[in-house]
Amino acid sequence: MRNYVVSDNRWRVDASKANGQLQSKMAASKSIIPSTVNPDLQKERDAASFNSEEFAAWWAGGVESLKFKRSIKEYMYKDFDKDAFIQLQYMSHEEVSEFAIKNSIAVAKKLRQLQAERNPGGDDYWPTLFEAPEMWGVHLAGNPFGVMYVMVVRALKAQCTPQQWEEFGKRVERFEVCAAYSQTELGHGTYLRGLETRADYDRATDEFVLNTPTISAYKFWPGGLGHASNYSVVMAQLYIDNQYKGPHMFFVQVREEGSHEPRPGVHIGEIGRKMGFVGVNNGFLGLKNVRIARTRMLMKHAQVHSDGTYVKSPADVLTYFAMVSTRCIIARNCALSLAIASTISTRYSAVRRQSPINPNEPEPQIIDHVTQQLKLFPEIAAGVAFRVASDYLWDLFNVTSSGIEQGKYENLPELHSLSCALKVIGSSDASAGVERLRLACGGHGYLASTNLANIYSNMTAACTYEGENTVLLLQIGRYLMKSWRAALGGASLAPTVKYLAEVQQNPEFGEWTGNWENLVKAIQFAAAKKTQLAFNSLAKRVTNGVSEEAAANQTGIELTQAAELHGRAFLFHSFLSEITGPKSKTRSSALNRVLEQLLELYLVNETLKNLSSILRFINLTDSDLSKLQARLETALSKIRPDAVAIVDGFDFSDRQLNSTIGSFDGNAYERIFDATLKSPMNQKSVPKSFHEHLGPFMKSNM
């Protein structure tokens, strides 16, 4: 208990008394969780230098948006069991799957009810919010139908003709049927041209015949496919008269609508337990001579006419546009997941006391240890940086989507490259960051009830799905090679790569000042120089007779290095622009000061982490490096008094956090113990295994 006396023999008396009180509470079925806020946490809030409500409004996108989000959470969470996340830890795989479907349908019903109450006929609540971050805390095992709204509906809207959308697209959107997005195969993932699933056109019947000819051709991993979907968008290689036309999307019924039994020729099921996303019902799909109508190929951009005539899409990337939008969502989710983990670990660090800094003083809050601050505060700053960058990415996505509707495709390459970059760096940095934050919580961070392990497993999965990170870095590298070549020829470049041309025109860095603009320029300069090195290595290999494909493979390390620095350069630039640009005039000086401190920490810390690349191209003195180190330590000390208020400003409710150590009241120890007492193992004083195995074995040795 928090008030134990441990300094002398009195601890035995006080501990015994406290233990008796605790047992009395449990015997009386009273909660052991105090109704008050932990005084250490309250002290942090009282001492903050800014209003966390203003931060929350900024983070939410405005006061009205904040009110809207809070009203959603208040309405949605009150009817769901607050202990369900703890109970989930003890369920079998099948029980988790059944719980996830039942729970997600309950969420859908309540959102429909909310839509009917507040805006009948609209879609601002249902289905728009079904997979929104505000709902994460009620989709406790994951949402088996999340992919349907994140990917399938978006893909159908983007790829269906108006007639197709009316015929079957709207049925999916209304949840009359449920659909998965089947692209990844057992033998192939990110490399779409390597997919083995075939769709052959049969003129005689005006149908496509779909087959997964080998075991490696089986669709494998699609969320919700296992037992939660009766239709699927299937990515397959199109053949007409055995002539290859590339990967295309097909809308395929995989289960009967009434009985939910698999359709003839369909072999379908779920893939088993995974590290995370335990209830998402990822599945496999095999197809044997499955026939679908010609009009079930999604034909907004590419078409197959009844006579077999093939009309090519005006831009190949349009086939994969659903993946681009999903990467934009992943970039946002990485920022939010990092913010959630930061909230949990920062609050815990404010109430945990350990290891005196001065031997003659009481144990301090561990957040007072500078080494602990280095674990916590850079992740808070990174979460903000990624959120700002993802907002820019969404703006670019919306502009590009509008252009596509008008037949304009010039923004697609930049959008593809930027979405890949933020997906890669967001998922890799968030995975590493969440793990650092878990470690910052010591042994308790290893408990499932803290939710940190769950957040980590979800984040590390993002390093692979919707494009494996290394493969995406190579795609960014190819974009950088094209951009560098274009700049050499005097062509204008997209906004996010204009710095390449600037470095070509000014190949020397110039004066090092270390101010924010200078740090942004430094990372851009390093990214441009890395791009130049990769370009020269690639060109040299081709000149020496190596094929372009082989040369690209041999230059892969340099290409991925340039790609990562390019992504980080964008993060630097977008963060600086948001915090110091025109929008700063709409914020109070107190909030601006806190945001500037986060900007300072992010830029300095990331510069120090990328020194090996920067020092290769920019001459820094030992004094310059010492100043950066001093700035890092100063930035940590300035954020320290406001750290709890900042994470409060992320405005995650306790139900969104689902953490015994991250709750708003800060009663971490009591919540840990309360969750412990709910373990099924603790409902009996003696386990069955003692009577059947342990007891008899010990007796046999007497």
Which is it for strands 290-293 and 283-287: parallel, antiparallel or unpaired?
unpaired
**d(C-alpha 269, C-alpha 249), whole Å:** 21
Joined together, the tokens standing for residue 3 give: 């008030």
* Torsional class of 265: left (φ above 0), alpha (ψ -120 to 50), beta (otherwise): left
Q: Please state, in angstroms and as integers, the Cα–Cα distance from residue 676 to each residue in 90, 266, 670, following that order.
A: 12, 44, 10
SS (H, E, C) 212-229: CCCHHHCEECCCCCCCCC
**d(C-alpha 138, C-alpha 5), whole Å:** 40
Torsion of CA 276, 278, 281, 283, to 10 degrees: 40
Residues 6 or more apart whose Cβ sits within 8 Å of residue 56 = 66, 648, 649, 650, 651
**d(C-alpha 373, C-alpha 644), whole Å:** 12
* Torsional class of 488: left (φ above 0), alpha (ψ -120 to 50), beta (otherwise): alpha
The CB density around residue 545, as the number of other CB atoms within 10 Å, is 8
**d(C-alpha 351, C-alpha 608), whole Å:** 30
**d(C-alpha 145, C-alpha 139), whole Å:** 10
**d(C-alpha 156, C-alpha 175), whole Å:** 14
Q: Is 650 helix (H, G, I), strand (E, B) or coil?
A: coil
Q: Is the dihedral of CA 27, 28, 31, 33 positive or negative?
A: negative
- Active-site annotation holder among 466, 558, 564, 670: 466
User: Which contiguous run of DSSP H or E holds residue 656?
Assistant: helix 654-657
Residues in the chain, how many? Answer: 702
**d(C-alpha 407, C-alpha 14), whole Å:** 76
The reply to whether 517 belongs to the active site is no
Joined together, the tokens standing for residue 79 give: 């009817």
Q: Is the dihedral of CA 63, 68, 72, 74 positive or negative?
A: positive
Catalytic residue positions, numbered:
466
